[in-house]
Amino acid sequence: MFGVFGLVFASTYFLEGISLMASALIAFRSHEYRNFVWWFSVLSLDLITAAAVAIASVGLLCAQRWAEKMWVLTISILGFLHLLIAALSQLGEGVSTFYLIWTWMVILLGAMSWWYFTRTPATTPASEVDEPQISLPE
């Protein structure tokens, strides 16, 4: 489920990154280098996020253990980044309601991911669960 949703989720960041290329190009052509650096940074983050989420999603579809860790890490970093941007934007002109809804959706996805991927499976016998081994000196 997370793999299929992740591919759709990654495509939104990819499409946003592609659409921001026009803004970066306009800023570059008009010699507004501060705006160009801003738009280039944002579109780079979008494209890197899209690539990371897509790689983790394909790994989840192939049932790879590393993909679970990558998914949780990527979504956690993404949620933190969205919260940071929203908080810093409130110092200036603020963010749109859509962005705040999107931020809370990413945070909810992160919470669901942590809950799902970090819990101990119910089918694992208690004797096989990795528990810290304490050895007492003799």
Q: pLDDT tens digits, residue range 51-95? A: 999 999 999 888 888 888 998 999 999 999 888 888 887 777 777
Tell whether the model's pLDDT for residue 120 goes beyond 80: no
Provide the pLDDT for residue 135.
Answer: 65
Tell whether the model's pLDDT for residue 105 goes beyond 70: yes
Task: Kindly state the helix (H) or strand (E) to which residue 64 belongs, with its residue range.
Answer: none
More confident residue, 3 or 72: 72
pLDDT per residue over 9-54, tens digit each?
888 889 888 888 888 888 788 888 787 887 788 888 889 999 999 9
* Residue whose entry in the numeric block shows the structure tokens 């990558």: 70
Provide the pLDDT for residue 55.
Answer: 93
Contacts 24+ apart (CB under 8 A), 86-89: none
More confident residue, 127 or 113: 113
Quick check: pTM over 0.85?
Answer: no
Provide the pLDDT for residue 107.
Answer: 92
* Residues 82, 103 contacting (CB under 8 angstroms): yes
Mean pLDDT calculated for residue range 103-123 = 83
Provide the pLDDT for residue 123.
Answer: 59
> Residue 123 and residue 31: Cα distance in Å, rounded?
61
Mean pLDDT calculated for residue range 2-15 = 86
